[in-house]
Amino acid sequence: MAVIPVERKPLSLAERTYLPQIVSGLKTTFSYMFRPKVTMEYPEQRPELPSNYRGVPTLVKDPNGREKCVSCQLCEFVCPPKAIRITPGEVPAGSGREHVEKAPQAFDIDMLRCIYCGLCQEVCPEEAIFLQNQYSMTGYTRAEMVNDKAKLYELGGTLPDQHFKWDRKKEAEEHGNTH
């Protein structure tokens, strides 16, 4: 197969000095200098999140400050990347939760494995786990990215409970014993 050479026209003086390309680039730069800024100053300004945003999973307490998690382990079983680890424990005596069979002794979520799918929140029968609007989790080591029970409650806080399930059970037990 024969190779046919391609004739190229010689460059002009302006093309050899690259002046047209430099002027074109400066024109683009100056046009952006006088437009309104579109850059968000991140730590001070935060983006508007949609209402269905799924962020960091956390544990929440009821309005009385009690743990809502009963260590049923459904969230652990349904988690696709197996990011949740629960160690069931006993409910302390005198805590006002004696009608609950178990409580989590340890509850860990590995945020490096979590895919923010929201299945843990959907499957929780006690509404103890919620995906918050927080999206910037950082750490220097892998160990810092594993949220333990104390950290999960710190991030989650207390959410209003619309069911008051435990209070109703307690009231029903009290009324059932008096009648």
Digit-coded pLDDT (tens) for 152-177 = 999 988 877 665 565 655 555 556 65
Question: What's the pLDDT tens digit per position in 29-50?
Answer: 999 888 888 888 888 888 888 9
Instruction: Quote the distance between the C-alpha of residue 94 and its chain's center.
Output: 34
Domains and CATH numbers, the chain: 57-167 (3.30.70.3270)
Strand order in the sheet with 103-110: 84-89, 103-110, 146-147
5-21, pLDDT tens digit by residue?
Answer: 899 999 888 888 888 88
What gap in Å lies between CA 132 and CA 100, rounded to an integer? 26
| pLDDT for res 133 | 86
pLDDT at 56: 92
What is the phi/psi pair of residue 139, to 5°?
-170, 155
Residue 58 pLDDT greater than 90, yes or no: yes
Q: 109-138 burial by CB neighbour count: b if 16+ within 10 A, else e? A: bbbeebeebebbbeebebbbbbbbeeeeee
pTM of the predicted structure, to 2 decimals: 0.68
How are beta strands 57-59 and 129-131 bridged, if at all? antiparallel
> What average pLDDT does this structure show over 47-61?
89
**Cα radius of gyration rounded to whole Å, the chain:** 29
pLDDT of residue 13: 85
